[in-house]
A and B are shown apart, each in its own frame.
Chain A
Amino acid sequence: MLLSTEAAWAQSVEVITGPDRDAAGISHTLLLSLFTMRVRQWPDGEPAHVYVMPDSNPLHEQFCREILGTYPYVLQNAWERLIYTGTGQAPVVVYSEQEMKDKVRATDGAIGYIRTDDDEPASPSRAAAVAPTGGRS
């Protein structure tokens, strides 16, 4: 249920998922679809529950740049287009990493991200599964 990317930062960001699935199989395309909220369910039909930190949070910024390959304000704009056209919902905002861990790990269909120490790197094969080709640093 844990997945990280190689990072030049002192710490890496890892994608985490709820207890019913494994983050290892998630493609970058699916990650983008989930976090831009343009799909509302997993490919197996289970509802997706997306958790993010606030726009100004450094971990959120790192996640946007390194994992999704975009910027927090671009993601925010995409959510606002959904909200104000009635074509989707915004993700759930959590305000601490502990809250992120607690909520994601307790919720089937959930996805979020946490910080991890560099001395506990995820396996390279898993990293390759989500790392965008054009990550921003």
Chain B
Amino acid sequence: MRAISRVASPWCRVAVAALLICATSPARALESQVHGSAAQGYAWTDHNNAYGTSQNGSFDFFELNLNGSVQLAPGLLASGQLLMRDAGANDNGKLRVDYALLDYQFASGSWYNAGVRVGRVKNPFGLYNDTRDVIFARPGIQMPQSIYFDGQGLRRLLFSSDGAQLYGGLGLGEHYVSVVVSGSRRQTLTDDEERQLTGGVALPAHEHVTDYYLGRLQDEWNGGADRVAFSVLHAGLDIDPDAGSTVQGHIDFDNYVLSWRHDAARYSLSAEYIINRTKGWTSFAGDTDNLGDGFYVQGDYRLDPKWTLMARYDASYINRNDRDGSRYAASTGGDPHSRYARDLTLGLHWLPDQHWGVWGEWHHIIGSSTVPPLDNPTQPRASNWNMLLLMAGYRF
């Protein structure tokens, strides 16, 4: 406990206390549950680093979570999750509070429900963002980078929000239509987050995420086997100068994602398309107005209940009006391949029982826009590279 109280903020202590209540309360009295998972990964790349120094093979890749929830009253749920994740230079393996919230479902009928969540809440964005750090609940070892930004930029803004979330759903015949909207208080970026956002550059400034909201509208039918969704995320970033510096500015990020998933007895198909706009002004780059986009298509085929084959094509473009990066190269002298990434992935997934899982993926990538800058601080980045990812996990 001493170690935990040292690393963490009040959030962490609240979550630990909630977990202890869940773990010790009589199950009947309070309907409490504790779940968790742990997974260790391995990464190897022939060029560029990911998840640590992967060109030599890297085990600098693990995730661990423990969550608890307790039903305090018929409509009132308290829950919290502690998370540790290590991913090369992009995640540091420190204990953090992933979420800690009170969920009050104030309306609940045979064909509708609505409620509010307060605290640190997970951000619903696309199909998988809110469960992105749990291998058992995401679509592969690596998330599709076009939508979910693992090594760069917006990742920090995607995790969770300290604020409030409203949700509701309507059963309309065979369809269940739901909406979730989150708003967040002002947040200050850490130095690591700043460098992720700038691609590895430390600015003599501090950044605050100001106006921040996201929402997702989803329709599901066939008992959830078919889903379509539309997600929106907006974040405003204030850049304020450090003492003696003149670096400043304001940038607005707007992201829109269309999502689709179809589950059948033997196979699943999913696809998502993102369009993102970065608009603002900074003292070091002047006016900025950029439109990027990306998409992926994934198929999963269940050979039997334990073995699943996966194939995915994932494409990201920093500027949708300059997809091959040629205009960028002509105007800046930079590498054109730093402006896109096209990733063809083949994977195999084995669930020997309800607790264990083993995953393997081979990525062949053309382009370097998704190469994590923090794992590649100095070296030139290769445009044609391969990545092997392995992961084994346990859940309860």
Interface of A toward B, CB cutoff 8 Å: 26-27, 29-30, 32-33, 36, 38-41, 43, 45-47, 49, 54-56, 64, 68-71, 73-75, 77-78, 80-81, 83-90, 132-134, 136
Contacts and interface: CB of A to CB of B under 8 A. Distances in A.
B137 A80 contact: yes
Interface in B129-162: 130-131, 134, 136-137
Interface in B181-238: 222-225
Interface string B55-81: 000000000010101010011010111
Contacts of A70: 222-225, 263
Contacts of B33: 83, 89-90
Nearest to B35: A83
A3 to B, nearest CB: 15
B137 A132 contact: no
B131 A84 contact: yes
B220 to A, nearest CB: 9
A88 B124 CA distance: 14
Contacts of B113: 33, 38-39
A86 B131 contact: no
Given A87-B117, A134-B174, A134-B222, A74 B130 contact: no
Interface in B16-34: 31, 33
Interface stretch (B99-107, B320-328, B370-378, B380-388): B99-107
A15 to B, nearest CB: 14
Given A74-B223, A81-B137, 16 more contacts: A38-B113, A43-B108, A54-B354, A71-B223, A71-B263, A71-B265, A74-B263, A75-B223, A75-B224, A77-B224, A84-B65, A84-B134, A85-B124, A86-B67, A86-B100, A87-B122
Nearest to A35: B223
B77 A89 contact: yes
Contacts of B302: 73
B12 to A, nearest CB: 15
Nearest to B178: A38
A86 B305 contact: no
Contacts of B80: 86
A103 B77 CA distance: 23
Contacts of A80: 131, 134, 136-137
Contact of B71 (A29, A32, A47): A47
B379 interface: no
A59 to B, nearest CB: 15
Contacts of A89: 31, 33, 69, 71, 77
Given A41-B108, A70-B225, A86 B101 contact: yes
Nearest to A86: B79
B163 interface: no
A23 B71 CA distance: 24
B102 to A, nearest CB: 10
Contacts of A87: 77, 79, 103, 117, 122, 167
Secondary structure at the A interface, as helix, strand, loop or mixed, is: loop
B111 to A, nearest CB: 5
A52 B368 CA distance: 47
B74 A27 contact: no
Contacts of A49: 31
B74 A41 contact: yes
B169 interface: yes
B332 interface: no
Given A30-B111, A70-B224, A71-B265, A39 B35 contact: no
A136 to B, nearest CB: 7
B354 A69 contact: no
A94 to B, nearest CB: 14
Contacts of B137: 77, 80-81, 84
B354 A39 contact: no
B109 interface: yes
B167 to A, nearest CB: 8
A81 B354 contact: no
B103 A29 contact: no
Contact of B31 (A27, A36, A47, A84): A47
B225 A74 contact: yes
A136 B137 CA distance: 24
A84 B85 CA distance: 15
A71 to B, nearest CB: 6
Contacts of B245: none
A78 B127 CA distance: 11
B125 to A, nearest CB: 12
B69 A86 contact: yes
B93 interface: no
B225 A27 contact: no
Contact of B223 (A40, A69, A81, A88): A69
B42 interface: no
27 contacts: A32-B171, A33-B111, A33-B113, A36-B223, A36-B224, A38-B176, A39-B108, A39-B113, A40-B77, A41-B105, A43-B109, A43-B110, A47-B31, A49-B31, A69-B174, A70-B222, A80-B134, A81-B131, A81-B137, A84-B65, A85-B124, A87-B103, A88-B69, A88-B103, A89-B71, A90-B35, A132-B174
